[in-house]
Amino acid sequence: MGLIFAALMNLQNTPMQSLVVHFVGNKNNAGPLHLSQKTLELSDDLKMILGDSFLSRFKNNFEWHHFSHESSLQFNVAYNYCKQIFSDTDSFENVSQAIAKHLYNQSTHPKVKGGELYVAYFDALPVESRMCKAIGLFKTENKTLFLEAEQTEANIGVQLKEGIELTKIDKGCLIINQKEEEGFDILLFDNQNRGEEAQYWKEGFLSLSPQKNEFHNTQHFLNLTKQFITGPLETEMHIGKAEQVDLLHKSIDYFKSNESFDIDDFQAKVFIEDDRINAFRNFGSRYVESNDFDLAAQFDISPEAVKKQSRIFKSVIKLDKNFHIYVHGRTDLIEKGVDLDGRKYYKIYYQDEG
């Protein structure tokens, strides 16, 4: 997947071939469904600008998905529509309407906002030194107020207009015409990725599952480790904050300094003691079961996933509401104790004051 990441990071000057826009309201709230009959007539410059704006949202997205279905891929509605467009581009307008109807039928949660659905077609997307066909599905739900200045001979007036910022499109996915039998290669973004109402885009409308590649394995194993260190190790094994910080450092350093992951090697170098290793294994089993997927015991480490997950490995010791101690290393220079009056303290050793 590394080559594909690199290729998609440089999707500049990639023109769109076709674009059709529909309005999809909230079906449960009796919102409207307005279907356009034809693709938009756009200048080459506008196609380039819109294509760049749509694709720029995927530059730093490394988690790949694919269409899925609990019974069989052939029952995934969105998959079949995309498959039809790829096999017959003349069907683009009609199938885009069917896609909009499918999204409308999934827009039933009371909090789902209506908005424009942009269905874009790219016939030359550079992926792994190849040119691939691709379909982009984008939805805008939140509009912004703009001031437009108009100049006349005597004065400059302003008008207030409502519109969409191209850099703030709410939802989108890019379906690339490769690995058809496996549900295509798909990238996804959703600004509203929390709450029950957010699931209608990824799960109800598209029915996507993450591809179990090195990014997926690295990201979830780091997340599992973080939850274990800040959860059971603290509550069940009574590990103090300073030692938790040390274990967080060791965990992320393992992923940064190795090209491949081996669970036995990781456990031995990070947790060391048998009781902690056994507790980690038990927690891992519960994590996998609750998230309904398997994690490999050996896999290649994704540097992109490590960089992304490093943000949640912030090593902070919070003391009441008065102090936060940010620890970047050398936890052996931190000493914890209790004075004669029963007050708790941390003693920190250092050489230079910044």
**Residue 354 belongs to a domain:** no
In the predicted structure, residue 123 carries a pLDDT above the cut 60: yes
Tokens at 99, concatenated: 């896609």
Q: Is position 263 within any domain?
A: yes
Q: Give me the pLDDT at residue 62, please.
A: 77
For residue 122, give every residue at least 6 positions away whose Cβ sits within 8 Å of its Cβ, in sequence order, or none. Answer: 14, 15, 16, 17, 51, 133, 134, 135, 136
**What b/e readout covers 103-132, taking b as 16+ CB neighbours within 10 angstroms?**
bbebbebeebbbbbbbbbbbeebebeeeeb
In terms of domains, do 184 and 60 share one? yes
Nearest 10 degrees: Cα torsion 321, 323, 324, 329: -150
Mean pLDDT of the chain: 85
For residue 8, the one-letter residue type is L
Last residue of a domain, one of 185, 211, 237: 211
The pLDDT value given to residue 298: 92
Do 24 and 58 form a contact (C-beta atoms < 8 A)? no
Distance between CA atoms of residues 75 and 77, nearest Å: 6
Read off the tokens for 83: 């498959």
Match 């307005």 to its residue by tokens. Answer: 34
Domain boundary among 211, 226, 241: 211
Residue 228 and residue 138 share a domain: no
Q: Which two tokens stand for residue 226?
A: 């973080």
Residue 46 lies in a domain: yes
Same domain for 176 and 37? yes
For residues 243 and 204, state if they share a domain. no
Model confidence at 328, pLDDT cuts 50, 70, 90, reads: low
Domain check: are 254 and 309 in the same one? yes
Q: Indicate whether 161 belongs to any domain.
A: no
Sign of the torsion angle spanned by Cα atoms 339, 344, 350, 354: negative
Does 245 lie in the same domain as 175? no
- Kindly state whether residue 163 falls inside one of the protein's structural domains: no
Cβ 30 vs Cβ 68: under 8 Å: no
pLDDT for the residue numbered 28: 92
Does the residue 160 lie in any domain?
no
Instruction: Write down the pLDDT at residue 326.
Output: 61
Is residue 116 located within the same domain as residue 233?
no
Please give the backbone phi and psi of residue 245, each rounded to the nearest 5 degrees, phi first: -60, -45
Sequential DSSP letters for 20-53: EEEEE--TTTT--EE--SS-----HHHHHHHHHH
164 within a domain of the structure (yes/no):
no
Sequential DSSP letters for 64-99: -EEE--SS-GGG-HHHHHHHHHHH-GGGHHHHHHHH
Asked if 175 and 134 count as a contact pair (C-beta separation under 8 A), the reply is: yes
| Structural domain includes residue 202 | yes
Residues 71 and 195 in one domain: yes
Give backbone dihedrals phi and psi of 283, rounded to 5 degrees, phi first: -65, -40
Name residue 108's amino acid: T
The model's pLDDT over 212-226, given as tens digits with 9 standing for 90+, comes to 889 989 988 998 998
Same domain, 205 and 57: yes
* Predicted pLDDT at 321: 67
Whether residues 225 and 198 share a domain: the answer is: no
Structure tokens at 78: 């969105």
The pLDDT of 320-326, averaged and rounded, is 61
Render pLDDT for 268-322 as a digit per residue (tens, 0 to 9): 999 999 999 999 999 988 888 887 677 788 999 999 889 888 776 665 555 666 5
Classified as helix, coil or strand, 250 is helix
217: its two tokens: 């394995």
Instruction: Look up the domain containing 79 and give its range.
Output: 2-142+169-211
Residue 219 and residue 186 share a domain: no
- pLDDT score of 332: 62
- Compute the average pLDDT of residues 221-234: 88
Indicate the number of domains in the chain: 2
Kind of pairing, strands 185-190 and 144-151?
unpaired
pLDDT tier at 2, thresholds 50, 70, 90: very low
Report the candidate in 191, 37, 209 with the shortest Cα–Cα distance to residue 115: 191
Residue 350 vs residue 132, higher pLDDT: 132
Do 198 and 257 lie in a common domain? no
